[in-house]
A = this chain, B = another copy of it.
């Protein structure tokens, strides 16, 4: 029994190592640099080992995305809890979201930009993703306004943040105006 346990533990450790290494490699040199060969070399195993843990590269990206979703949800909740009043909470939420996207661009890509094959917006959606959406909803529900469905409002607010995050990172928006954009967005969307 104990032998089997150790093996399973070692396997789990190696799986975590794969995901962590994939994330590091991506953050250092971009997802294009995350090839099965390079990844295998970094973890000091051969490529086929990767396929004994994941069905393919997509699943590795998905694993990074799920870790990222959990981390983002936590970061959002921390930011919100440090703010007083609905308006301040929403502003803190928006800043924390954009900050996360900026600090972890490749993880953000794994979550929303790359094809990870993850299900969204239905019952098969993995828990971390639903929880990240919940973290947004918690703070946004109170500023949605009367008669506006909180979920719908959260979707719109989220989409706006997502647009700002992706367009900024792609060089489509001038980085120096990031702050006034956030304020304008919160100003208009959130009913204080």
Contacts and interface: CB of A to CB of B under 8 A. Distances in A.
Contacts of A113: 113
Contact of A153 (B120, B148, B170, B184): B184
A71 interface: no
Contacts of A171: 119-121
A177 interface: yes
Interface stretch (A12-20, A84-92, A155-163): A155-163
A119 to B, nearest CB: 8
Total copies of the chain: 2
B170 A152 contact: no
Which secondary structure dominates chain A's binding surface? helix
Contacts of A160: 156, 159-160, 163, 185
Given A166-B163, A189-B188, A189-B189, A121 B156 contact: no
A152 B177 contact: yes
A181 B155 contact: yes
Interface in A74-131: 112-113, 119-121
Interface of A: 112-113, 119-121, 148, 152-153, 155-156, 158-164, 166-167, 170-174, 177, 180-181, 184-185, 188-189
9 contacts: A121-B171, A121-B173, A152-B184, A155-B181, A159-B164, A160-B160, A160-B163, A161-B163, A162-B163
